[in-house]
Structure 1
Amino acid sequence: MSQTNPIILILDDEQMVRENLEAYFEDEGFEVRTASNGEDAMTIIATGEISLGVIDMRLPGMAGSEFIVQAHGKSPHTYFLIHTGSTNFKLPSELKDIGMTSDDVFIKPLADMGVLLDAVIDKVGAP
């Protein structure tokens, strides 16, 4: 991508989680877009401006894994990280097939947000 400042999409149905992640990444210098469901997030992905998505798995309507697969099809340059409260989450084969690994999975609540920040910077660079 040619943009100079990475833009992060936060997709989580819990308002407090969305707002906390948004504030954290904005404090770190990133631009942030948020959505509470996969359908709204797809509209944001369609803009082509998103560098990376931090995606919850349990969502109303479209599940997080379904969103990632569809979003990857529309925007293959976008990276995705999973931020889930499911402690027994296993990466589904359809996400492995698009290049995701267990290193892309973060279980919430995170004791140290720095590990998520490091993963974001590793994928898209610092703002």
Structure 2
Amino acid sequence: MSYESVTVLVVDDEEMVRENLEAYLEDEGFKVATAGSGEEALELLASVSPHVGIIDMRLPGMSGNDFIIKAHAVNPALRYLIHTGSTNYKLPVEVMNVGVTHEDIYIKPLQNMDMLVRGIDRLLAK
């Protein structure tokens, strides 16, 4: 599959995680936009139309859950993968209502980032 036309939004407050995901996804052929907070990511949605967001849950200010709910109001077509270090993360009903499922949750650190590409492929096929 060719990914040149697919934009992925990476939202994570850890710069190293953002940079690693960005480099990996760009190597896979995706266009990538990054943000260090939910607020910054919401601003990006005005100029970038991502297809998939990879969202950390623990962010400064707005949580990842709140970002997903607000971003869905701005761009209902955007799909999400949750990338969290919280092993006890519980998917709220409001986030499920946006279309996020338990299959869309990835716990950091990922041993194999190919899992994210498979997750993106699954979301793009919906």
- TM-score of the superposed pair, with normalisation by structure 2: 0.92
- Secondary structure in 2 aligned to 1:110? coil
Q: Distance in 2 between matches of 1:41 and 1:89?
A: 21
Runs (4+) of structure 1 exceeding 2 A deviation are none
The letter for the 2-side match of 1:20 is N
CA deviation map 1:5-28 (0-9, x unaligned):
110000000000000000000000
2:22 alignment counterpart: 22
CA displacement 1:44-69 (0-9 Å, x = unmatched): 12235111100000000000000000
Assess, with a 3 A threshold, how the Cα gap between structure 1 residues 77 and 48 changes in structure 2: closer, same or farther: farther
Q: What's the counterpart of residue 79 of structure 1?
A: 79
SS in 2 for 1:106: strand
Aligned residues: 122
Q: Supply the distance in 2 between the matched residues of 1:48 and 1:37 (Cα, whole angstroms).
A: 15
Matched, 1:99 2:99: yes
- Could you tell me whether the CA contact under 8 Å between 1:13 and 1:60 is conserved in 2? yes
List gaps (5 residues or longer) in structure 1: none
CA distance in 2 between counterparts of 1:79 and 1:85 reads 20
**Identity across aligned pairs (percent)?**
50
Aligned to 1:58: 58
Paired residue for 2:89?
89
- Contact residue 7 and residue 52 of structure 1 kept, 8 A: yes
Equivalent AA in structure 2 for residue 13 of structure 1: D
Higher relative contact order (CA 8 A, sep 6+): 1
CA RMSD of aligned residues (A): 1.2
- Counterpart amino acid of residue 75 in structure 2: S
* C-alpha distance in structure 2 between counterparts of 1:39 and 1:48, whole Å: 14
Are the counterparts in 2 of residues 46 and 75 from structure 1 also a CA contact under 8 Å? no
CA distance in 1: counterparts of 2:49 and 2:96, whole angstroms: 24
How far apart, in 2, do the equivalents of 1:30 and 1:117 lie? 10
Counterpart of 1:8, as a letter, is V
Q: Which runs of 5+ in 2 are unaligned?
A: none
